[in-house]
Chains A and B, each alone.
Chain A
Amino acid sequence: MSNEDMSDWGLPSRKNYPYDAPSAVELIHAVEECITEEIMPSSDGVTKWKLRIAANALRIAIREIENETSHKDTLQTVLTDLEAIDMPDLSEKIKAGHYDDRFEMLQEKLLSIVTMKLEVANPRHFQ
C-alpha cells in the first residue's frame, strides 16, 4: 500500500478542462442525495411533497446532461430520414400530409424521438 500513488485518487484527468471538480453532474447528484437522504426523512406534508418534486427535477437534469450529446445526434439522423430540417419543419410537414402514405413509418420515427425524451424525463413510464 505504501508505494501507491494517492495524489489523484484514481479520478479522470481534468487537464484540458477549465473548471475544478466536482463536475456539474456530480454537484447536482450531491444535492439530490442530500435532499432525499438527509432532508426528506425528517420532513412531511407539503414540504416533503415539494422536496420529492425537487429531487425528481434534479434527476431529470442529470439524465439530460449525460445523454444530450448522443440524443442530439440521434435526433439529427431521424430528422434527416424524414427529410425535415428541424422539429417545427417536421410539424409543418405532418400537418401538410407529407407522410400520410407512410403513417406507420412516421409513427416509428416519432417513437424513436419520444423514447429519448422519456429516457430523460421519466424512464419509469416505459411499460
Chain B
Amino acid sequence: MSNDAVFEANWLEEQLHEIFGATEVTNLSRLSGGANRETWSFEAITKEKHRSLIMQIDRDGMDRLNGTCERESRILRIAKLNGVPVPTVVASGFSEGSGSRSFSITEKMPGETIARKILRDSQWEHARGNLIHDMAKALAAIHKIDRSQFEGIELSDIRDPLSSLNSIYEALDDPHPTFDFAFRWLKTNQPKISESTFVHGDFRLGNLLIDTSGLNAVLDWEIAQFGDPIQDLGWMCVRAWRFGSDQRVAGLGSYDELIESYVQESGNDVSAATLFWWEIFGTLRWGIICLQMGGDFRKGRTNSLEIAAIGRRVAENEYDLLQAIGEKIK
C-alpha cells in the first residue's frame, strides 16, 4: 500500500481551489484497486455547493493497457460533447514531484456497476428492459464521433485486428492449440472489415453505470482506439460478459434486439454472421488476456492472487470457443 496514500485531502483542496474557489474535502475513501489505477471518492464542499466527486490516478507498475487517467479525461470531454452519456470532468492533470502520475476528477453519478446485481436484482428490472437499446444508442454515438476531434491524443488504429491479436498471442510464446484452431476459423470466415471508427474497446456490463431507468454513463475508456465498430457489439456478447445469464447479448437479450437497435441508431448495417465473428474474436481476445495475466504472475511481474487465478480462466474461453465454433462447423 506504500504508494497508495499520496493523495491527501489538502492536495485535492489545492487542485479544486482554482476551479471552485475555497473548497473543503471530506470523506476521502478508496473505492477499488484496478491493475492500472486507483479510484477515490470524496465530498467537495464550497460556500455555495456540496459536490460528490470521483478521483482516478495512475498507479505505478504494470502499464498493460497504456491508458493514463489524463488521456481518458480528454476522451471523456470529447465523448460528452458528442452526446455520449459520461461523467462530467471537473479537473485533470499531473501530480508534482518524482514519478509524476496523471489524475482526473469527475462528478460522481448515481447507479450500479456490478453486473451480477444488475442482471438479477429486482430493483433493476425496469432498467434491464431498456438496456440493450440504451447500449446500442451509446455505441452508435461513440462510433459517429469524427476522428479529427481526437487530434493530439495518441490512439492506436487497428486495421487488421486478427494479425494484431495474433502478434500479442505469439509474443507470449505459450502455445494453446485451441487458440490456434480459433485463429484458423476466424481467418477463413473473416467478414469484410468496416471502415475504422472511434471504438470504446471494453464496452460491457461492469464498465457501465446503470440507474433505475437504464444506462446512466459509459465508464472505463482506458483502451479506446480506432477500429471496426462492430467489435464493440461483439465484445459484449462474449460469454464471460454474460455473467452467468443465458442471454447472449450482455446477459440481457438476443442478437436480433441488439442488431435492430444499433441499425436504427447508427444507420450502419450489421449481419448476425458479422456479429458472431466479432463475438468469437472477443472470446479469443479475452482468452489471450487471461493467458497474458497468468504469464505476468509466472514471470514474477505481479504477486496478485487475483491475477494468478485469472490465468486459470483460459480454459473457460477455450471451451466457449470450441462450443461456439463447433455449432457452426457441424
- Report A's interface with B, CB cutoff 8 A: 46, 50, 53-54, 56-57, 60, 87-88, 90-92, 94-95, 97, 100, 103-104, 106-108, 110-111, 113-115, 117-118, 120-122, 125-126
Q: How far is the CA of A102 from the CA of B268 in the complex (A)?
A: 37
Please state if B175 and A91 are interface contacts (CB–CB under 8 Å): yes
Please state if A110 and B181 are interface contacts (CB–CB under 8 Å): yes
Taking a contact as CB atoms closer than 8 A, the residue among B181, B308, B315, B330 that contacts A118 in the complex is B315
Please state if A53 and B177 are interface contacts (CB–CB under 8 Å): no
List the A side residues contacting B185 at CB < 8 Å. 103
Q: How far is the CA of A95 from the CA of B312 in the complex (A)?
A: 24
Residue of A nearest to B176 (CB): A91
Please state if B181 and A107 are interface contacts (CB–CB under 8 Å): yes
Please state if A122 and B184 are interface contacts (CB–CB under 8 Å): no
Min distance, Cβ B1 to any Cβ of chain A, angstroms: 11
CB-CB nearest 4 A-B residue pairs: A91-B175, A117-B315, A94-B180, A90-B177
Please state if B181 and A94 are interface contacts (CB–CB under 8 Å): yes
Q: How far is the CA of A122 from the CA of B322 in the complex (A)?
A: 16
16 contacts between A and B (CB under 8 A): A46-B33, A50-B306, A87-B176, A91-B177, A91-B180, A104-B330, A107-B181, A107-B322, A107-B325, A108-B326, A110-B177, A110-B181, A114-B315, A117-B314, A121-B312, A121-B314
Q: How far is the CA of A126 from the CA of B325 in the complex (A)?
A: 16
| Residue among B178, B184, B185 facing the most chain A CB atoms (10 A cut-off) | B178
Chain B: interface size category: 20 to 34
Please state if A122 and B178 are interface contacts (CB–CB under 8 Å): no
User: Secondary structure at chain B's binding surface: helix, strand, loop or mixed?
Assistant: helix
Tell me the chain B residues, 184-236 only, with Cβ under 8 Å from chain A: 184-185
Tell me the chain B residues, 288-330 only, with Cβ under 8 Å from chain A: 305-306, 308-309, 312-316, 318-319, 322-323, 325-326, 329-330
Q: How far is the CA of A117 from the CA of B290 in the complex (A)?
A: 15
Please state if B176 and A94 are interface contacts (CB–CB under 8 Å): no
List the B side residues contacting A107 at CB < 8 Å. 181, 322, 325-326, 329
Given A60-B312, A104-B329, A121-B314, list of 17 further CB < 8 A pairs?
A46-B33, A56-B309, A57-B308, A60-B309, A87-B175, A87-B176, A97-B184, A103-B185, A107-B325, A110-B178, A113-B177, A114-B322, A117-B315, A117-B318, A118-B319, A121-B315, A122-B313
Min distance, Cβ A9 to any Cβ of chain B, angstroms: 35
List the B side residues contacting A100 at CB < 8 Å. 184
User: Secondary structure at chain A's binding surface: helix, strand, loop or mixed?
Assistant: helix
Please state if A115 and B181 are interface contacts (CB–CB under 8 Å): no
List the B side residues contacting A54 at CB < 8 Å. 305
List the B side residues contacting A104 at CB < 8 Å. 326, 329-330
Residue of B nearest to A124 (CB): B244
List the A side residues contacting B318 at CB < 8 Å. 110, 114, 117-118
Please state if B305 and A115 are interface contacts (CB–CB under 8 Å): no
List the B side residues contacting A94 at CB < 8 Å. 177, 180-181, 184
Min distance, Cβ B286 to any Cβ of chain A, angstroms: 13
| Residue among B177, B315, B329 facing the most chain A CB atoms (10 A cut-off) | B177
Taking a contact as CB atoms closer than 8 A, the residue among B180, B312, B325, B330 that contacts A122 in the complex is B312
Taking a contact as CB atoms closer than 8 A, the residue among A46, A110, A121 that contacts B316 in the complex is A121
Min distance, Cβ B295 to any Cβ of chain A, angstroms: 15
Min distance, Cβ A103 to any Cβ of chain B, angstroms: 6
Please state if B175 and A88 are interface contacts (CB–CB under 8 Å): yes
Q: How far is the CA of A94 from the CA of B326 in the complex (A)?
A: 16
Please state if B326 and A111 are interface contacts (CB–CB under 8 Å): yes
Q: How far is the CA of A60 from the CA of B322 in the complex (A)?
A: 22
Min distance, Cβ B11 to any Cβ of chain A, angstroms: 24
Taking a contact as CB atoms closer than 8 A, the residue among A46, A57, A114 that contacts B319 in the complex is A114
Min distance, Cβ B287 to any Cβ of chain A, angstroms: 11
Q: How far is the CA of A29 from the CA of B203 in the complex (A)?
A: 39
List the B side residues contacting A97 at CB < 8 Å. 184
Known: A95-B184, A107-B322. A118 touches B316 (CB 8 A): yes
Known: A50-B306, A95-B180, A111-B322. A122 touches B329 (CB 8 A): no
Please state if B178 and A114 are interface contacts (CB–CB under 8 Å): yes
